[in-house]
Amino acid sequence: MGYFKDIAVGGWSLIKGLEVTIKRIYKPVVTLQYPREQIEMSPSYRGHIELKRFPESGTHYCVACGTCMRACPSHVIKLQGEKEAALEAKRVVHYYIDFSHCSLCGMCVEACPMQTLTFSQEFELADESRWDGVIDLVKYFEESAR
């Protein structure tokens, strides 16, 4: 009798299997047609760092103090500031990071006294040369305004 039971039980499990797959045919696909569609990045995503834009002033507060530069364990940050008038605060004019060496540890973000550094949502970073990993954050900031 075990012979017929095996056939019946086996056949039933096969039908169950078919049921699972036929249901999936009608489910919506999860594939994203990447260059044409993009998902929203999670807020906790760590791209390369960027200068944070504060809504009340519409600009960043980087004073080129260099704390981030000294905090960076990989020495990938290089920046230069300029003072336009005697009693004004210093403003950053050049802020370079070499993202190809960055480990995204976040020491710079934590160290920033003006809290004007943050992780960006940038993920399309494939490039042709190793020097393309060098990013000018001031330029990036200005371009993101547009």
Among 8, 9, 12, 14, binds another protein (CB under 8 A): 14
Whole-number Å distance between alpha carbons of 79 and 97: 9
The answer to whether residue 104 forms part of the interface with another protein (CB under 8 A) is no
Burial of 119 (0-12, 13-18, 19+ CB in 10 A): middle
- Out of 22, 85, 126, 145, the only residue in the binding site for another protein (CB under 8 A) is 22
Alpha helices in the chain (DSSP H): 2-25, 67-71, 107-111, 137-145
The position carrying tokens 């605060």 is 89
Q: Which of 5, 24, 36, 146 binds another protein (CB under 8 A)?
A: 24
Q: Which is nearer to another protein, 32 or 125 (CB)?
A: 32
Binding residues vs another protein (CB under 8 A): 7, 14, 17-18, 20-22, 24-25, 27-31, 33
